Amino acid sequence: MATRWGICSAGKISHDFVVALKTLPPEDHQIVAVAARSLQRAQDFAKKHSIPRAYGSYDELSRDPDVEVVYVGVIHPYHLSASVLFMNAKKNVLCEKPLAMNSREVQEMVASAKMNNVFFMEAVWTRFFPASLEIKRLLAEGELGEVKMVRADFALPLMNVQRAVEKELGGGALLDIGVYCLQFILMVYGGERPEYIHATGVLLDTGVDEGMVVTLKFSGNRMAVFTCNLAVEMPNDAVIVGTKGSIKIPAHMWSPTSLVVNGKETHYPVPEPYLPLNFTNSTGLRYEAEEVRQCLLKGLKESPGMTHADSLLLAEVEDEARRQVGVVYKQDLQ
């Protein structure tokens, strides 16, 4: 039986997610409904993607008995309220990253998932790419020896994107794109909590971070550093260095389609889309969707690849980095 999806929001990322879902077998994944803040937007989205039902409110979507799992693609200040709405309606939820504005909200979301006995996962799509699975295999087999250093950078000129720079919309480099670098580092170090965090950054007039450089120290004198920035573009690569070798993601570290392992490059292309995409390699969103399906088939309530503990640690490190740089959202004051 196919996994039956509901789509919460008719924005750019939801468009790409639906395009990605349709690269998977229709007998495994079906999209049965979409909801937006206006019925017209939902209907336009449904028509474009041949989705049977459209709703003008998220509450209506939560009451649709055919929806098994909801993809939450709203902007992150609304992740908490939307996810809890669906979980209270006994829907499984895949919620876009960052999961919430801070660790307190993450705790509230996880508690809701457990109370309602539903599957819940942060949509850190990077972790489910074939290239990322290969990285985890190589690390587990000791291919690099002892990993001593991880570096990741993600910077794009997004200053003209209101969502990226306005505080009330959850703007800021760390939550918008730096989260990719941090989750990568935490994945490499097996979800270990860093012993030391040092963040330096610069703020926009809106009070959010234009850019940050964050240094992390882990047990055994292992280190990591990442850079994120909204004003410039960087190579956006990542490297893992161990005592016996290295792995490099040469480009698009947030959606890796190639790896260079000890100098040898291997490519992992994503499927071609049936409609134009808004973001690079977005058909790779199929991998997290299939992860959700496999977890549901196994009766799991969280993904082994992105656990609730992983999401909480990610948010806690973000909280500390923001505290050091001076980024405070209204959600931090509640």
CA–CA separation, 202 and 210 (whole Å): 6
Residue 91 pLDDT greater than 90, yes or no: yes
- With a pLDDT cut of 70, the percent of the chain lying above it is 100
Dump pLDDT digits (tens) for 18-47. Answer: 999 999 999 999 999 999 999 999 999 999
Dump pLDDT digits (tens) for 186-208. Answer: 999 999 999 999 999 999 999 99
Residue 176 pLDDT greater than 90, yes or no: yes
Q: What is the pLDDT of residue 7?
A: 98
Residues 119 and 137 in one domain: no
Please count the structural domains in the chain.
2
Residue 274 maps to a domain: no
Tell me what the pLDDT averaged over the chain comes to. 98
Residues 211 and 241 in one domain: yes
Residues 7, 35 contacting (CB under 8 angstroms): yes
Which structural domain range is residue 263 located in? 130-267+307-333
Residue 256 maps to a domain: yes
Residue 95 pLDDT greater than 90, yes or no: yes
Find the mean pLDDT for residues 116-130: 98
Residues 135 and 214 in one domain: yes
Residue 140 pLDDT greater than 90, yes or no: yes
The pTM is what? Answer: 0.97
The domain that contains 211 carries what CATH number? 3.30.360.10
Q: What is the pLDDT of residue 198?
A: 98
126 Cβ contact partners less than 8 Å away, ≥ 6 residues apart: 132, 180, 183, 184, 253, 254, 255, 256
Residues 55 and 137 in one domain: no
Residue 334 pLDDT greater than 90, yes or no: no
Residue 186 maps to a domain: yes
What confidence tier does 284 reach under pLDDT thresholds 50, 70, 90?
Answer: very high
CA–CA separation, 123 and 291 (whole Å): 10
